[in-house]
Amino acid sequence: MNPNMFIGQSNQRLGSDEQKFALHTVTGLLLLKRSEVIYFQYNDNLRSWQVYSNGGRISKLRTCITAKDILNISPSFFQANHFVIVNIDCLASIDTQLHCIFHPPYNNLDITISRTYYHKLREILEII
């Protein structure tokens, strides 16, 4: 079975924070709830995405998984820049320098949204 096909099938069932989805990692399947994901980061040296979940867990995804696959999991996952996809549900704010400020205990993360992706984010969010 094509791993990307499995991701697509699980995405169709993902409707709430309580439903789990599966990610192919180098060691097997990782089952997560959307609310457990903080962000994904592409590692150039490993040539793969890594998922950073609550509790400080970092899991390396298989190299066949693309940013598009990750973004298709949930509308809460948004590309902040070429190398990072964040869970919008974990964001508290974005400052004027486009730095992401996360809810505690993740408020020490240093992630910046590129101007291109920031404009896309503004289009999908309701901003007053």
User: What integer pLDDT is reported at residue 33 of this predicted model?
Assistant: 94
- Give the separation between CA 117 and CA 60, rounded to whole angstroms: 24
The tally of domains found in the chain comes to: 1
User: What integer pLDDT is reported at residue 127 of this predicted model?
Assistant: 72
pLDDT band at 128 (very low <50, low <70, confident <90, very high): low
Give me 69's structure tokens: 């696959």
Place of tokens 């974005």: 94
In a domain, 81, yes or no: yes
- Side chain identity at residue 90, one-letter code: C
User: What integer pLDDT is reported at residue 13 of this predicted model?
Assistant: 44
The closest of 46, 123, 124, 34 to 87, measured between CA atoms, is 34
Mean pLDDT over 85-111 rounds to: 95
Statement: residue 122 has pLDDT above 90: no
Q: Is 40 in a helix, a strand, or coil?
A: strand
User: What integer pLDDT is reported at residue 55 of this predicted model?
Assistant: 84
**pTM for this structure?**
0.84
Statement: residue 120 has pLDDT above 50: yes
DSSP 59-105: EEBPTT--HHHHHTT-TTEEEEETTEEEEGGGEEEE-TT-BEEEPTT
Place of tokens 């503004």: 122
In a domain, 127, yes or no: no
In a domain, 58, yes or no: yes
In a domain, 109, yes or no: no
CATH number at residue 82: 2.40.50.40
pLDDT tens sequence across 21-71: 999 999 999 999 999 999 999 999 999 999 999 988 999 999 999 999 999
Q: Which residue segment(s) compose the domain that 7 sits in?
A: 3-89
